Amino acid sequence: MARVAARLSTDGEQSTHPVDEVLPLPKLALYGFQHVLAFYAGAVIVPIIVGNALKLSPEQLVYLINADLFTCGIASIIQAWGIGRIGARLPLIQGVTFTAVSPMIAIGLGAGGGTAALLVIYGAVITAGIATFAFAWLPAKAFRTVMRLFPPVVTGTVITVLGIVLIPVGLNDAAGGLGSPDFGDPKNFAYAGGTMLFILILMKIGKPFLSSISILLGLVVGTTVAFLLGDAKFGDVSSSEWIGITTPFHFGAPKFEWFPIVLMLIVMLITMVETTGDTYAVGDIVGKEVDSETVARALRADGAATALGGVLNSFPYVAFAENVGLVRMTKVKSRFVVVAAGVFMIVLGLLPKAAAIVAAVPHGVLGGAATVMFAMVALAGIQTLAKVDLKEEKNALIVGVSLAFALLPATVPVLFSKHMDPDLSSLLNSGVTLGATAAIVLNLVFNGLGKEGAHDAPKVELPAQPTAGEESAAAVPAPSGEGEEARTPAS
């Protein structure tokens, strides 16, 4: 782990570390916008997926996207700029975590869908954010003890489960969107397949910048083709306002229900692993010391942003792994570049017309891009597990049994819909929740807490698209995001 706190100038005095360097405004704007491009598709895909699953109207979906971008900007500024002992002060972009997608959909459907479901989700998100914020203030010894619950065998299993559970979500969109009149129409699969092929070609070319925005370009090209063929409708764009302000509790006062809160607390436990890994990874890349206090500050920013997300009609937040990879590829280490990106996101969050364009992306196109992203999440988890000794029977059992639990809701849905109390079903009817809980419990049974310090920095090699003669992108923690998160998240 690099432990460089500052560089020495020629006269022996300390000079500004590259992380703390304020670049000229044109460079800040250019590099900040590049971060937004790499981040954008992953940022908006979560509200789109959740909004569609809850059957929100186009206008409500546009508002959800705007709220997400607006809060993403604030969260990224808090993380990179820092406020007191909140924020890692590293170039970390914050975005909605893919880990929460499946649980939020389960909570929302259990609450009947629509905006009423959002109120239950936001109550759970606010509570989980406050709990995460409080957890990050624990004494250092207690903090390290809790983090030892998440060795590589657990983090790798959870990330793999996340990808596997989310892939069907992408495939349903590729088929036209579950419940839509043209669900399963080959035309939708044609759009999905074309979008996926275009993204894979860009990644095959291997140019770092093209690779970093391949998902975004895939969505743009796929939607353009659909529009030319008459299958993308932009009528809502003209009727949308140019300027829209995100107001607290836009959909109503949040509802605090016990089971959704427990479910969201589990989600935040998982995202803490993601942010911990991302923080260590970016510290390595920029040559900045990362200690337990730095991780705690990063998690406090996660908690504060998540609670703020529930207030501003958004969702749980986590550091985005794909933007960590972008820091390595570009060699731009200044945290103020992320602050600039945050400003761009806030501005985009005030433009409903931009959100309306995003909301008009056809399901087939969205499904093609999402499937690639979610598949990369699963691959990131597999790469983490490759570092685990799976010849040890106990480790193999942890992985195998956890995967089996994760597949239960999709394989035997009748167990949750007809033979389980609705409140309990909203908690357990999630492959991510069951798989993650099984991995944590089984690891405790077979391995205990392990040795202190052994798993302080869980990491995974994310697949990268190196230029000719260059090595793959750095070891960065799995998403997020989605997963996802894939983006290519890993949130």
CA distance 271 to 410: 23
Residue 271 φ then ψ, to 5°: -65, -25
| Residue for token pair 């619950």 | 149
Q: Read off the amino acid at residue 218.
A: G
> Would you state the pLDDT for residue 220?
83
pLDDT in single tens digits along all 491 residues of the chain: 333 333 444 444 445 787 777 878 888 887 787 777 666 766 777 888 888 888 888 788 888 888 888 999 999 999 999 898 999 898 888 888 877 877 788 788 777 778 888 899 999 999 999 999 998 888 877 777 776 777 878 877 877 887 787 788 778 878 887 667 778 788 888 888 998 898 888 878 767 667 666 777 888 888 888 888 887 777 666 666 777 777 888 888 898 887 788 878 878 877 887 787 778 777 877 788 878 788 889 999 999 999 999 999 888 988 876 666 667 666 777 888 889 989 988 988 887 777 667 667 787 887 887 788 777 767 767 877 888 888 888 999 999 999 998 888 878 888 877 878 776 776 677 777 788 888 888 999 988 866 554 444 444 343 333 333 333 333 333 333 333 333 333 33
CA distance 478 to 480: 6
